[in-house]
Amino acid sequence: MTFDANSGLSRTRVPERKENTTHYLETYGYYLIGFASMIVLWWLLATFVVPSVLFPPPERVLLRGIALVRNGELFKDIAASLNRIIIGFLLGSGVGVIIGLLMGSFGPVRRLLDPYIETLRFIPAVAMITIAVIWFGIGEASKIFIIFYGTVFIVVVTTAAGVAAIARNKARAGLSLGASPVQLFFHVTLPSVVPDILTGMRVAMANAFTIIVAAELVAAQRGIGTILWNARVMMLTEDIFVALVVLAILGFSVDRVFRWMIAKYAGRYTPKH
C-alpha cells in the first residue's frame, strides 16, 4: 500500500514489472510454439509428401546455411541486400514524409500532387526495373531507385492520411493560445502524425524486402536475390531455401523493431480525437 499525497487516500501499487514480464513470456512463448510447429510441418511435408529434391527438409537447409556462413558468402550477400534496402528505404521514407506532410497540411498542394501520387503508386516497382536500368545503368543506383520507388508512395499516403485525420479543434486551440504556424506544426501536427508515419514506414519496409529480390536479378554481383538467381540456374534447392529463410528472419526481425517503436514512441500521441 502507498499513500497518495494529492488525494489523501491509500492505494495498492500495481506490480507493473511483473505484469510486463508475464506479458512478454506469454507473447514470445506463442512465437516459439508457432515457429516450432512451422518447422515440424516443413519436416513432415519434406519427408512424407513432397520429394526432397524439390522441397529439402529443414536439416539439409540448415547444414547448407552453415556452410555458406563458414565460407563468408552468406554474410556478404546479406550485407549487400541490406545496404540497398536501407538506402532506398531511408530516401523513400524521407521524401514520402515531406510530401505527405505538405499534402495533408495544404489543400492546393494535395490537389496538385494527388493525380501524380494516385497514378504512379499503382505501377508496381518491379515494372520499373527496365526504366531504372535505362536511367541509371546496371549499378547500385538502379537497385536503390527501385527500392525508393516501392517505398515513397506508401509513406506519402499514410502520412497525408494521418495529417488529414488530426482533430481540427487541436489546431484551433493552438491558434487561440497564440501559437505560430511553425509552433503549430512541430507541437500539434508532427506529434499527432508520428503513429501514421511509423506505420507507413513499417509497411514500406516489408515492401522493400519484397522488391529487393527482383531488383537484384539485374546484373547484381552480391545479394540475396543473386543467391536465388544462381540457385535457380544450378537447381540448388537448398540454396534457394536458405535465401528464403534469411529473408523471412530479417523481415520478421525488422518488423519487430518497428512494432516496438510504434508501441514505445507513438502510442503517447494516439488517439487523435
Interacting residues of 94 by C-beta distance below 8 A, sequence separation 6+? none
How far is it, in rounded angstroms, from Cα 76 to Cα 224? 9
Quick one: average pLDDT of 45-55? 89
Cα 77 to chain centroid, rounded: 20
Quick one: average pLDDT of 6-25? 56
How far is it, in rounded angstroms, from Cα 153 to Cα 122? 9
Quick one: average pLDDT of 226-230? 90
Quick one: average pLDDT of 171-191? 73
Torsions phi, psi for 3 (to 5 deg): -105, 125
Q: Where are the alpha helices (DSSP H) in 106-137?
A: 107-120, 129-136
How far is it, in rounded angstroms, from Cα 156 to Cα 118? 10
Residue-wise pLDDT for 27-36, tens only, equals: 677 888 888 9
Quick one: average pLDDT of 89-115? 94
Task: Map grid coordinates 503513429 to a residue.
Answer: 195
Q: Where are the alpha helices (DSSP H) in 49-189?
A: 58-70, 73-105, 107-120, 129-136, 140-164, 168-176, 181-184
Work out the mean pLDDT of the chain and round it to a whole number.
84
pLDDT class of 272 with cuts at 50, 70, 90: very low
pLDDT class of 82 with cuts at 50, 70, 90: very high
User: Which residue(s) pair with 2 in the sheet?
Assistant: 11
Q: Which three cell numbers stand for residue 140?
A: 547500385
Q: Which three cell numbers stand for residue 255?
A: 518488423
Q: Does residue 200 or residue 16 have the better pLDDT?
A: 200
Torsions phi, psi for 8 (to 5 deg): 75, 15
Instruction: Decide if pLDDT at 5 tops 60.
Output: no
Quick one: average pLDDT of 135-145? 91
| Strand, helix or coil for residue 11 | strand
pLDDT class of 15 with cuts at 50, 70, 90: low
pLDDT of residue 118: 92
How far is it, in rounded angstroms, from Cα 76 to Cα 140? 15
Neighbouring C-alpha atoms within 13 Å toward the C-beta of 14: 3
Quick one: average pLDDT of 44-64? 91
Q: Does residue 134 or residue 7 have the better pLDDT?
A: 134
Quick one: average pLDDT of 145-164? 94
| Strand, helix or coil for residue 2 | strand
pLDDT of residue 174: 67
Torsions phi, psi for 270 (to 5 deg): -110, 155
Instruction: Decide if pLDDT at 171 tops 70.
Output: no
| Strand, helix or coil for residue 220 | coil
Contact status, residue 146 vs residue 214, Cβ threshold 8 Å: yes
Angstrom CA distances, 147 to 49, 120, 212, 255, stand at 37, 14, 7, 17
How far is it, in rounded angstroms, from Cα 238 to Cα 58? 9
pLDDT class of 138 with cuts at 50, 70, 90: confident
Contact status, residue 78 vs residue 209, Cβ threshold 8 Å: no
pLDDT of residue 1: 47
Q: Radius of gyration over alpha carbons of the chain, in Å?
A: 24
